[in-house]
Amino acid sequence: MLDKYDRKILTLIQKLPAHRQPYQIVAEQVGLSEEEVLAKINGYIHDGLIRRMGITINHFLTGFDANAMVAWKVKTQDVDRVGEMLSALPSITHCYERGVDGDWEYNIFAMFHARTRQELEQTVEEIAGEMGVSDYKILYTLKEWKKDGRKYL
Amino acid sequence: METIDKIILNALQEDFPVDSRPFGVLSQKIQVSEDEIIQRISSMVANKIIRRIGASLNPKAVGLSTTLIGMNVPEERIEAVADIINTYHEVTHNYQRNEDYNLWFTIAAKSAEEMNRIIEEIRKKTGIERIINLPSVKTFKIRVRFDV
């Protein structure tokens, strides 16, 4: 169970300052010593609460201007095979199985990134053929209204 | 972009040191002074090349409930509806897309109850009726590293 220190630390360390001792600044805000904060963070990493410690860069840097969420309608018995085939593609960053709702029947979601839409659609068509899944929708990112990977605990 | 900046980004994307002096640790590896690294990173933050520095959490492991919501919003109302949705700090991503369901956002809330409360509030405040709620069942892949 997370206590109030854990919640504060986990919230704050998602956006560290570019400072000589960023964890010291977090420690001051939380009211613990820097050593205690570092020890706790190592514990969170060990326990799988933190997936990654790192710098998150902006997509525009990568030259991948065509970005789409591709949703696939996949039979239950094929979900694992399709999810694994999609995940093996380097042009995919995220892949999830999701529940369906109302008139929406597409249950596998994968984020594709390519230099152009043409290149993206070619990749999608190829993998669709290999997986034997013909019912899918390409949902291009038209506008980013919000992107803030931070989560508040 | 300068080579040193690229080296710094590639080195720190997945491996930011948990150390009293994280930039000092990198300094020893790449033979660039700690102050220069900090100054270069500060510029990249100001130029929005870097979105943020720090932890990416596993939402389930820290007790958060997450979902993806799709909404069918009349084109002329998109901005106003997006503004209402973005007031919630539980909303982490919000994208406009080329579909019948044209606004898609993710929620990470402290509990399933809290998540449902937020969805109902958004439904009331926006007046949008066609909303689909697609909680994740299984995560197959998350990769955030891009070589620059």
Same domain as A34, residue A100 = no
Quick one: average pLDDT of A26-42?
98
Query: Residue B16's pLDDT is what?
Result: 97
Structure confidence by residue, pLDDT tens digits, B113-142: 999 999 999 999 999 999 999 999 999 998
* Residue A65 in domain: yes
Same domain as A130, residue A80 = yes
* Residue A149 in domain: no
What CA–CA distance (Å, rounded) separates B105 from B94?
4
| pLDDT class of B145 with cuts at 50, 70, 90 | low
Yes or no, beta carbons of A56 and B50 under 8 Å apart:
yes
Question: If you classify domain B65-135 with CATH, what class do you get?
Answer: alpha beta
Quick one: average pLDDT of B17-38?
97
CATH of the domain at A123: 3.30.70.3460
Quick one: average pLDDT of B88-116?
95
Element of type H or E holding B91: strand B91-97
The nearest CA of chain B is from the CA of A46 a distance in Å of: 12
Same domain as A21, residue A72 = no
* pLDDT: which is higher, B148 or A120: A120
Query: Residue A76's pLDDT is what?
Result: 96
Structure confidence by residue, pLDDT tens digits, A48-100: 999 999 999 887 777 788 999 999 999 999 999 999 999 999 999 999 999 99
Same domain as A85, residue A23 = no
* Residue A53 in domain: no
Query: Residue A63's pLDDT is what?
Result: 77
* Residue A151 in domain: no
Query: Residue A65's pLDDT is what?
Result: 87
Same domain as A73, residue A14 = no
The three-state secondary structure class of A75 is coil
| pLDDT class of A148 with cuts at 50, 70, 90 | confident
Query: Residue B146's pLDDT is what?
Result: 67
Q: Calculate the average pLDDT of chain B.
A: 94
Give me A6's structure tokens.
Answer: 């854990």
Residue B5, pLDDT above cutoff 80: yes
* Residue A54 in domain: no
What CA–CA distance (Å, rounded) separates A116 from A64?
7
Quick one: average pLDDT of A7-21?
97
Same domain as A133, residue A63 = yes
Same domain as A126, residue A71 = yes
Nearest residue to A29 via CA among A10, A42, A47? A10
Q: Is A78 on the interface with B (CB under 8 A)?
A: no
Q: Is A93 on the interface with B (CB under 8 A)?
A: yes
* pLDDT: which is higher, A65 or B80: B80
What CA–CA distance (Å, rounded) separates A56 from A78?
33
Yes or no, beta carbons of A101 and B140 under 8 Å apart:
no
* Residue A146 in domain: no
Query: Residue B137's pLDDT is what?
Result: 93
Residue A105, pLDDT above cutoff 80: yes
What CA–CA distance (Å, rounded) separates A57 from B117?
32
Contact A42, B133 (CB under 8 A): no
Specify the number of domains making up chain A: 2
Number of A to B CB contacts under 8 A, please give it: 237
What is the value of pTM for the model shown?
A: 0.89
Residue A135 makes CB contacts below 8 A (sequence gap 6+) with A72, A73, A106
Query: Residue B36's pLDDT is what?
Result: 98
* Residue A114 in domain: yes
**Residues of B with Cβ-Cβ distance to A99 under 8 angstroms:** 133-135, 137
Instruction: Give the Å distances, CA to CA, from B129 to A122, A148, B11, B45, B72.
Output: 35, 26, 46, 39, 8
What CA–CA distance (Å, rounded) separates B44 from A18?
10
Same domain as A10, residue A33 = yes
Based on its alpha-carbon atoms, the radius of gyration of chain A, rounded to whole angstroms, reads 20
The nearest CA of chain A is from the CA of B67 a distance in Å of: 9
Give the start-to-end residue ranges of the domains of chain B: 3-46, 65-135
Rounded to two decimals, the ipTM of the complex is 0.90
Same domain as A86, residue A21 = no
Q: Is B138 on the interface with A (CB under 8 A)?
A: yes
Query: Residue B105's pLDDT is what?
Result: 98
Same domain as A94, residue A68 = yes
Q: Which domain holds residue A32?
A: 4-46
Q: Calculate the average pLDDT of chain A.
A: 95
Contact A140, B97 (CB under 8 A): yes
